[in-house]
Amino acid sequence: MFPRHSLTSLVILGCLLIPAACQAPPRTPESHAVEQETSNRNGRLFRAFHHIGLPTEDLQADETYVEETKVWVTDPADHPYRVEFLRYEEDSPVTGPLREKAHVAYRVEDLGTALEGKELLLEPFTPMPGLSVAFFEEDGVVIEYMQFEGDATEFDELN
């Protein structure tokens, strides 16, 4: 019989080695959007989880090229766990934590308001018509805020 702390360690190690065993079954992209509100002194700020971005050096299926940042990206709506893979060109202007770390992305209603007081890693830009994004680091985590045009919440809704 394993001591309790050893069993817990084994469960955690198992989840790291076989993540699918510790995850809920895949859901539709619509059910992945986790809406959150965070309080600030000026009222309420809407944000909804959109995806996790993972840097990779491996070619991915159905990549799209973002010329401004010289990076190939996948559509997180096509991944059961909302993962976006990012493969940077050698001469990409993106450097530092944004290029080296994973990021968490949230949809926001007003990018300007959401970014107030943030120290940006990458200034707001438009990777595709109808979508503006910016990146910052907070508590050691790289975060992307995304503002879609109109009622769009996914990349394919912008076409």
Give the count of domains, the chain: 1
At residue 44, the pLDDT reads: 59
Can you count the helices (H) and strands (E) in the chain? 4, 9
In a domain, 106, yes or no: yes
What is d(CA 84, CA 74) in angstroms, rounded to the nearest whole number?
5
Give the domain range for residue 77: 27-158
Q: Which token pair is 32?
A: 């992945």
In a domain, 2, yes or no: no
In a domain, 3, yes or no: no
At residue 20, the pLDDT reads: 46
Assess contact for 106 and 145: CB atoms under 8 A: yes
Q: What is the CATH number of the domain that holds 144?
A: 3.10.180.10
Mean pLDDT (the chain, rounded) = 79
The answer, yes or no, to whether residue 81 has pLDDT greater than 50, is yes
Share of the chain above pLDDT 70, in %: 72
Helix, strand or coil, per DSSP, at residue 99: helix
In a domain, 101, yes or no: yes
In a domain, 16, yes or no: no
* Strand pairing report for 120-128 and 131-138: antiparallel
At residue 26, the pLDDT reads: 44
Report the pLDDT averaged over residues 45-64. 93
| Cα-Cα-Cα-Cα dihedral sign, residues 55, 15, 140, 123 | positive
Question: In this structure, which amino acid lies at residue 48?
Answer: A
45 band by pLDDT with thresholds 50, 70 and 90 = confident
At residue 155, the pLDDT reads: 80
